[in-house]
Copies of this chain bind each other. A is one copy, B any other.
Amino acid sequence: MIGMRGPTPPVNAHRRKRLPRAVRSEQLLKLADRLFAERGFHGASMDELASRAGVSKPVIYDHFGSKERLFALCVRRTGEALAEQVDAEVRKETDPRTRLRAGSIAYFRFLQGQLQAWAVLFAEEEARDARFAAEAARIRHRQSELMLELMAETTGTTPSHQGRERLEAMTLAVAGAYESLSLWWREHPEVPPEQLADWLLDLLWPGLEQLMTQLASA
């Protein structure tokens, strides 16, 4: 008789809302996005998420299994949304420089619209936890690959093995420049996305163009 966990009849039965699973999932993901953005992975607690969502913790665990998986999901979702948006805009153009510009604008517009998620991605929070590393790297690499692809399309060549290594390094460096500029942007929100894009293009395009030429002829 000892140690039985008792029935514990629900107390606030009056305000319990029953949402369809998918809807609840979506709601939780959005709230989690925001919470992680605010507090970082370690600072965020499942308790707080539950209370913000107005549900009990088991609901969350039923949906996502663990804090870590929830976090990974948030990050991946955001990363993918970003990539899609950038990709879509890029595909609309043909001229290399114009494409990069379009992509850049899309990038900053996305951040603008998703302030919270943005933080999750690569803000100053502990977003770069070991567990997050994989996802963060995914995103950066995705951007990097997108650029590589564009370059290949543009130059119509595939770089040599050696050139490939350099190219990878450079595109990652470029991705880093974008991230870092994003952080600066947070404190200068009055600057429009187009401005940021143009600045970066002026900074990076000369070098990139030359790089493409070099590698194409190599």
Binding site for B on A (CB under 8 A): 1-5, 7-8, 21-22, 25, 39-43, 61-65, 68, 73, 123-133, 136-137, 140, 165-166, 168-170, 172-181, 183-185, 188, 191, 196, 199-200, 202-208, 210-211
Q: Is the pair B200, A63 in contact by a Cβ cutoff of 8 Å?
A: no
CB distance from A93 to the nearest CB of B (A): 21
Q: Known: A126-B127, A180-B140. Is A211-B207 also a contact (CB below 8 A)?
A: no
A122's closest neighbor in chain B, by CB? B128
Q: Is the pair A173, B202 in contact by a Cβ cutoff of 8 Å?
A: no
The A interface, classified by DSSP as helix, strand, loop or mixed, is helix
Query: Could you pull out 22 A-B pairs where Cβ atoms are within 8 angstroms?
Result: A2-B25, A2-B130, A3-B39, A3-B63, A4-B61, A4-B68, A8-B21, A40-B129, A41-B126, A42-B42, A125-B133, A126-B127, A126-B128, A165-B191, A170-B199, A170-B203, A172-B180, A172-B183, A173-B199, A176-B177, A176-B178, A176-B181
